[in-house]
């Protein structure tokens, strides 16, 4: 592409030997922008040059002159001593001429200062007595402040800095610590993405062949809309709503088909995910088909459960009746925990083969539940029973299919308040409440026994419990077996506080594990705290690009334009676009940090080039953006 001579100003320097004058490639800044260094290329001269009195490498080195806040150059020690101006600005000829094999740089291009003198004696030719006064008044250890009074600028906190890991995170295994120091745990990252996908999952479109046999869901129900089935049945279920470890299995025998009578509640049940129009959050709607309460006050029983908040409880939000499905139904609303499984799915169904991490071969998944996990389940559920019993209620639904596993060894009880509505009593007799609470404790023992034996029928009936305890004793220790026998005993009326007393040593272990997990999550949060800083920087660059309608090759906007071309319009040696994400991220991170590292910015026609630091470009971006948003 032809270069327009008028597009960039030219500077001519004298070439020794009477050669032709050299033309610089770039002079893009005005005299006020002295913080940048422009590179001036000079053609080699064939004329013989006189050797300088000192080495050319030293003579051609520019002198660094500090800049003040207002652009006034800082006085040198010679100026502070009262030397003549001519003595302070004498320039050696080698500083303004080019030698073979070298390119001269004008002194005015570097900080606006002067070049180095040829010798110390040449500085005092006009005033011989100045040297003595300079030596007597100059202190080599004193700092010479600029004449103009500077005001300290208070900069905001550098949010771009990466915080080091917490000291207590080093308690983890060394193989895990190296990756956790820089990145979020990959498994946690993937799990959060899958849960986010489940939150935004929608019902798949229904084909024409299925339209006649599939019952459509109502568009809205009470204050909820976008209903999506969480169980297979008459309506199709999105695969993203099921945990990826169970995709290879039949979903019907894992969760039960929608519309089948519930083994726990006795009524046909349907479970949906819906979005609330009041707060925009997702909730679970559990519908009991064909139930109509005899008393209108029965729905108030769910209000007592709304006041209970516990980390091991799926919170109850509300309950209401509806005829939107063509029958009398009651709907219970719970918090939605995406990708949650049940203890029945985790420990009582045979899982498909999983690839080994080392060899990649498919290996069977062990069904054995570690003893530490059973103690953890007991601690979490016993703490929930204590809160529920203290409120004068009983859960009455402690079953493997109603205990959700929302994270690694993290359980929550689901389906509460349903029995309180189905068998509503205005005032529960004290004896009946004590019996229900005692049955909750025995149900906890049956749940742990079924989980340890990997069989839901292991705790159904006295004979099955006796046989299962013998098998359980062969797998686990005596303390856990004795604890289960105490829970399952129908003769001893065990209080929930007595159960917690037995669990005291394991509650301490559970607390330690919980605190370690909280530390790990906090460390991951620290690494993701300022993950939007590059987005803010890109927004500023794009806003400046759209508002820059000038085509001048000077000024701060031109530097920003050259930087944007270097980052986003890089090409390879063949002229093809080089799409390298690491190249973009490295330069944007340095720009956001404002490092003092210098870089060479070249125009697209390769005729103009600028030597500038990332700190200067950041200053230009902030100034241009402040000017843009100024009212």
Helix, strand, coil tally for the chain in percent (to 5) = 40, 10, 45
- Is position 203 annotated in a ligand binding site? no
| Strand ranges in 116-231 using DSSP code E only, listed in sequence order | 220-221, 224-229
Contact 213, 206 (CB under 8 A): no
- Is position 335 annotated in a ligand binding site? yes
User: Rounded to 5 degrees, what are φ and ψ at 40?
Assistant: -110, 120
- Is position 340 annotated in a ligand binding site? yes
**Starting at the edge strand that comes first in sequence, how are the strands of the sheet with 220-221 ordered?**
220-221, 224-229, 269-276, 282-289, 329-335, 316-322
- Is position 401 annotated in a ligand binding site? yes
User: What does the alpha-carbon distance between residue 418 and residue 384 come to, in Å, rounded to a whole number?
Assistant: 17
- Is position 402 annotated in a ligand binding site? yes
- Is position 479 annotated in a ligand binding site? no
> What b/e sequence results for 350-370 when a residue is b if at least 16 CB atoms lie within 10 Å of its CB, and e otherwise?
ebeeeeeeeeeeeeeeeeebe
- Is position 286 annotated in a ligand binding site? yes
Contact 282, 273 (CB under 8 A): yes
- Is position 439 annotated in a ligand binding site? no
**Other Cβ atoms within 10 Å of 507 Cβ, number:** 19
SS3 category, 535: helix
DSSP tag of 593: H
- Is position 307 annotated in a ligand binding site? no
> How, if at all, do strands 224-229 and 269-276 pair?
antiparallel
User: Rounded to 5 degrees, what are φ and ψ at 207?
Assistant: -75, 165
> What b/e sequence results for 511-542 when a residue is b if at least 16 CB atoms lie within 10 Å of its CB, and e otherwise?
eeeeeeeeebeebbeebeebeeebeebeebbe
Binding site residue list for ATP? 286, 335-342, 401-402
Binding site residue list? 286, 335-342, 401-402
């Amino acid at each position: 592409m032809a270069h327009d001579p008028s597009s960039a100003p030219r500077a001519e320097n004298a070439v020794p030997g009477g050669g032709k004058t050299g033309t610089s490639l770039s002079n893009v800044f005005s005299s006020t922008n002295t913080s940048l260094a422009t590179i001036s290329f000079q053609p080699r001269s064939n004329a013989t040059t006189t050797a300088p009195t000192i080495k050319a490498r030293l003579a051609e080195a520019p002198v660094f002159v500090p800049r003040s806040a207002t652009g006034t150059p800082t006085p040198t020690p010679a100026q502070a001593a009262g030397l003549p101006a001519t003595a302070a600005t004498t320039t050696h000829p080698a500083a303004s001429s080019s030698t073979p094999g070298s390119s001269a740089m004008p002194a005015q291009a570097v900080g606006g200062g002067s070049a180095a003198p040829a010798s110390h004696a040449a500085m005092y030719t006009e005033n011989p007595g100045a040297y003595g006064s300079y030596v007597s008044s100059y202190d080599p250890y004193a700092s010479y402040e600029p004449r103009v009074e500077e005001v300290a600028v208070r900069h905001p906190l550098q949010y771009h800095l990466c915080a080091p890991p917490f000291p207590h995170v080093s308690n983890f295994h060394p193989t895990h610590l190296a990756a956790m120091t820089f990145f979020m745990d990959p498994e946690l990252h993937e799990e959060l993405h899958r849960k986010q996908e489940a939150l935004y999952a929608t019902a798949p479109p229904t084909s024409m062949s299925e339209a006649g046999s599939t019952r459509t869901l109502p568009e809205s129900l009470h204050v909820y809309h976008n209903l999506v089935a969480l169980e297979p049945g008459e309506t199709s279920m999105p695969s993203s709503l099921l945990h990826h470890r169970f995709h290879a299995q039949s979903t019907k025998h894992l969760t039960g088909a929608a519309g089948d009578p519930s083994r726990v509640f006795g009524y046909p049940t349907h479970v949906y995910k819906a979005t609330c129009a009041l707060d925009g959050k997702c909730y679970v709607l559990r519908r009991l088909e064909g139930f109509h309460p005899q008393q209108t006050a029965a729905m108030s029983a769910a209000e007592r459960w709304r006041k209970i908040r516990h980390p091991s409880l799926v919170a109850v939000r509300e309950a209401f009746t509806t005829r939107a499905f063509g029958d009398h139904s009651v709907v219970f609303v719970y918090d939605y925990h995406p990708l949650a499984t049940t203890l029945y799915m985790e420990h009582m169904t045979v899982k498909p083969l999983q690839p080994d991490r080392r060899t990649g071969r498919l290996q069977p998944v062990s069904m054995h539940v570690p003893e530490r996990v059973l103690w953890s389940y007991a601690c979490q559920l016993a703490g929930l029973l204590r809160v529920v019993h203290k409120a004068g209620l009983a859960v009455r639904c402690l079953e493997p299919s109603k205990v959700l596993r929302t994270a690694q060894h993290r359980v929550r009880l689901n389906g509460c308040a349903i029995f309180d509505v189905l068998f509503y009593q205005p005032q529960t007799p004290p004896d009946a409440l004590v019996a229900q609470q005692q049955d909750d404790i025995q149900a906890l023992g049956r749940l742990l026994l079924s989980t340890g034996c990997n069989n839901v029928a292991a705790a159904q009936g006295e004979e099955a419990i006796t046989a299962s305890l013998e098998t359980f004793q062969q797998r686990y220790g005596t303390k856990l077996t004795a604890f289960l026998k105490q829970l399952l005993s129908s003769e001893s009326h065990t209080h929930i506080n007595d159960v917690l007393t037995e669990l005291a040593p394991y509650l301490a272990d559970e607390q330690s594990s919980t605190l370690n997990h909280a530390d790990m999550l906090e460390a991951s949060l620290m690494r993701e705290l300022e993950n939007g800083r590059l987005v803010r920087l890109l927004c500023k660059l794009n806003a400046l690009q759209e508002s820059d309608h000038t085509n001048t090759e000077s000024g701060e906007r031109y530097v920003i334009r050259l930087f944007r071309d270097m980052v986003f319009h890089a090409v390879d040696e063949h002229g093809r676009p080089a799409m390298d994400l690491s190249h973009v991220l490295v330069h944007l991170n340095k720009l956001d940090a404002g490092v003092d590292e210098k870089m060479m910015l070249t125009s697209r026609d390769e005729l103009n080039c600028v030597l500038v630091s990332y700190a200067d470009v950041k200053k230009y971006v902030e100034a241009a953006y402040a000017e843009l948003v100024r009212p």
